[in-house]
């Protein structure tokens, strides 16, 4: 039996009451949750060109709104507490990117190292607000039904393993409870780790209740959690949705990105794929499934590359994806790589570095380029018309 402190039981009760109150309501809150979530998908689908030099922040938001066709608002009263004003000068040049990426870069540039603005969606608008205001007024609660992720296809009918040190045989309920704890640890590790109470943060909360996860955080994190859980489900179905890119990046820029992100995180892969200095030779988004390998061929003047991704069922019901790469440089130098990426129990990414000291034109320069192959879970977009499965939205926590 798991014994929980009284404070934790009170927190669970508060979160469950939030879910229950929403479920028994007219459904308006639920629909508002999904409408706001759809706005984040729309921000991913909208493309903007961010090229600003000493432009007032208010004008930057208006320009991004005009270009994307979406409503953007700065919550100036809240941002004032972080010393951010509408007339603050913004200098930002990142080329053609998604609106979501442009807003992320904008919030990073506005950060003073301690306070970074948050981007959220509410009542038909995308908002730029302070972290404190986000947590107090715009975090949402949702319950995720993860019972399907607690059973493994190769579980025996009467489990004999694992055994406790004292010789006690764990029951199936014990095993499922441990897997639920592992799932919580995975979410905390992969989705803004410093935000969770378990890591000393004050922004996000996650608790287990009757083989469900009750989560209070912002919409952006809810989106990431939903996508990660669905990615795990796809792996159990013998399928993974991947984004694959072949690109060149200045080595100094590559090192700078590596310092900012965890080695195998999707955020690292995305930062490389969307880097303003990246020269992208090819980029595809496609599922790879057991028995259905994905072939990627990139042939240009300065690159000749063939890659095959082959999915195999892994122990535990996920996928191991075999990666076979053969590349030939403009100098007729041949390189082969064979490795694998595990999609068994985490929504990770993989980056492969090829031997390449020439720039995108094939001519070596002072800041040598590194040629990279990047694999990451493909995020859903508004065009997919998909929302996180097995999720019950709740209201805001007071």
Three-state SS string across the chain, please? CCCCCHHHHHHHHHHHHHHHHHHCCCCHHHHHHHHHHHHHHHHHHCEEEEEEEEEEHHHHHHHHHHHHCCCEEECHHHHHCCCCCCCCEEEEEEEEEEHHHHHHHHHHHHCCCCCCCEEEEECCEEEEECHHHHHHHHCEEEEEECHHHCCCCCCCCCCCCCECCCCCECCHHHHHHHHHHHHHHHHHHHCCHHHEHHHCCCCEEEEEECCEEEEEECHHHHHHHHHHHHHHHHHHCCEEEEEEEEEEEEHHHHHHHHHHCCCCCHHHHHHHHCCCCCEEEEEEEEEEEECECEEEEEEECCEEEEEEEEEEECCCCCEEEEEEEEEECCCCCEEEEEEEEECCCCCCCEEEEECCCCCCCCCCCCCCEEEEEEEEECCCCHHHCCCCCCEEEEEECC
Find out if CATH 3.55.50.30 is the number for domain 46-135: yes
Extents of the domains making up the chain: 6-36+139-235, 46-135, 239-378
Higher pLDDT, 68 or 331: 68
pLDDT-based confidence at 88, cuts 50/70/90?
very high
Q: What is the pLDDT of residue 8?
A: 45
| Range in 130-134, 246-250, 386-390 with the lowest mean pLDDT | 386-390
28-38 confidence digits (pLDDT tens): 777 888 889 88
Distances (CA, A) of 385 to 17, 70, 192, 218: 30, 18, 25, 21
- Residue 394 above 70 pLDDT? no
Q: What is the pLDDT of residue 68?
A: 93
Higher pLDDT, 90 or 44: 90
Long-range contacts of 262-269 (CB under 8 A, 24+ apart): 264/348, 264/349, 264/350, 265/190, 265/348, 265/349, 266/190, 266/347, 266/348, 266/349, 266/376, 266/377, 268/349, 268/351, 269/243, 269/349, 269/350, 269/351, 269/374, 269/375, 269/376
318-346 confidence digits (pLDDT tens): 677 888 888 776 666 777 888 777 664 44
pLDDT-based confidence at 103, cuts 50/70/90?
very high
Count of C-beta atoms within a 10 Å radius of residue 174: 15
pLDDT-based confidence at 364, cuts 50/70/90?
very low
297-307 confidence digits (pLDDT tens): 887 766 788 88
Predicted TM-score of the model (pTM): 0.63
Mean pLDDT score of the chain: 77
pLDDT-based confidence at 67, cuts 50/70/90?
very high
Compute the average pLDDT of residues 10-31: 56
149-207 confidence digits (pLDDT tens): 887 655 545 444 455 555 556 677 777 888 888 889 888 988 888 889 888 888 899 99
């Amino acid at each position: 039996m798991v014994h929980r402190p009284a404070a934790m039981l009170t927190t669970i009760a508060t979160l469950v009451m939030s879910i229950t109150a929403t479920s028994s309501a007219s459904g308006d809150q639920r629909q508002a949750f999904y409408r706001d979530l759809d706005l984040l998908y729309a921000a991913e689908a909208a493309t903007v060109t961010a090229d600003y030099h000493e432009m007032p922040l208010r004008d930057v938001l208006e320009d991004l709104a005009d270009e994307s066709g979406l409503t953007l608002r700065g919550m100036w009263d809240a941002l004032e507490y972080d010393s951010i004003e509408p007339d603050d000068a913004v200098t930002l040049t990142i080329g053609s990117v998604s609106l979501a990426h442009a807003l992320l870069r904008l919030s990073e540039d506005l950060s003073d190292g301690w306070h970074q603005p948050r981007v959220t969606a509410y009542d038909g608008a995308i908002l730029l607000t302070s972290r404190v205001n986000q947590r107090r007024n715009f975090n949402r609660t949702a319950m995720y039904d993860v019972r399907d992720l607690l059973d493994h296809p190769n579980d025996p009918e009467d489990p004999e393993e694992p055994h406790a040190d004292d010789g006690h045989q764990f029951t199936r309920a014990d095993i499922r409870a441990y897997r639920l704890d592992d799932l919580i640890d995975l979410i905390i590790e992969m989705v803004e780790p410093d935000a969770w109470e378990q890591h000393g943060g004050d922004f996000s909360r996650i608790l287990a209740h009757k083989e469900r996860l009750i989560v209070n955080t912002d919409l952006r994190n809810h989106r990431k959690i939903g996508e990660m859980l669905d990615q795990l489900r796809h792996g159990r179905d013998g399928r993974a949705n991947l984004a694959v890119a072949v690109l060149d990046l200045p080595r100094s820029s590559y090192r700078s990105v590596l310092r900012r992100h965890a080695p195998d995180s999707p955020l690292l892969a995305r930062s490389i794929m969307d880097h303003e200095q990246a020269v992208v030779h090819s980029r595809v988004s496609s599922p790879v499934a057991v028995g259905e390998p994905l072939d990627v061929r990139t042939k240009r003047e300065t690159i000749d590359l063939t890659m095959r991704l082959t999915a195999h069922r892994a122990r535990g019901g996920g996928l191991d994806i075999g990666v076979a790469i053969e590349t030939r440089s403009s100098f007729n130098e041949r390189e082969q790589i064979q490795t694998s990426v595990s999609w068994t129990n985490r929504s990770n990414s993989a980056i492969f570095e090829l031997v390449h000291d020439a720039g995108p034109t094939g001519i070596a320069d002072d800041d040598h380029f590194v040629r990279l192959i990047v694999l990451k879970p493909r995020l859903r977009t508004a065009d997919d018309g998909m929302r996180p499965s097995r999720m019950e939205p709740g209201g805001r926590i007071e």
